[in-house]
Structure 1
Amino acid sequence: MANLCEICSKSQTTGSNVSHSHLKTKRTWKPNIQRVKAVVNGETKRVNTCTRCLRSGKVQRAI
């Protein structure tokens, strides 16, 4: 599954793990993406959306 929210375009970000001795290694943060049935333009579709969009009501789930 793609790590991209189809509603808000939230995607994976990168950064560094920093140890106590200040050594840095690359790491990624991935958004919590769920594949849900949602109503889009009056039709029921499966969309990849982040949990923030689900919780805030930007996505109307289909029954």
Structure 2
Amino acid sequence: MARRCAITGKGALVGNNVSHANNRTKRRFLPNLRTIRVTLEDGTTRRIKVAASTLRTMKKQSK
């Protein structure tokens, strides 16, 4: 399964590791994914991967 948020679609970004000597090598910035259980309308539950920032926004909007 891809490292992607099921709600917002956030995925991995690409950047550089920069050493003290300013050497640059490629690296990936992965999203902070959490697995949560979601109850659907028909009563079944599913596990989805959601970014932690998305969870935070969802909690903020539910207040």
Q: Percent identity?
A: 35
TM-score w.r.t. length of structure 2: 0.75
User: 1:37 maps to what in 2?
Assistant: 37
Which of the two has greater helix per residue? 2
Q: Using the alignment, how far apart are the partners of 2:48 and 2:24 within structure 1?
A: 36
Query: Where does structure 2 lack aligned partners over 5 or more consecutive residues?
Result: none
| Alpha-carbon distance in structure 2 between the residues aligned to 1:25 and 1:50 | 26
**CA-based RMSD:** 1.7
TM-score computed with the length of structure 1 as normaliser: 0.75
Q: Tell me the equivalent position of 2:18.
A: 18
The number of residues matched between the two structures is: 57
SS in 1 for 2:8: coil
Q: Structure 1: 5+ residue runs without aligned partners?
A: 59-63
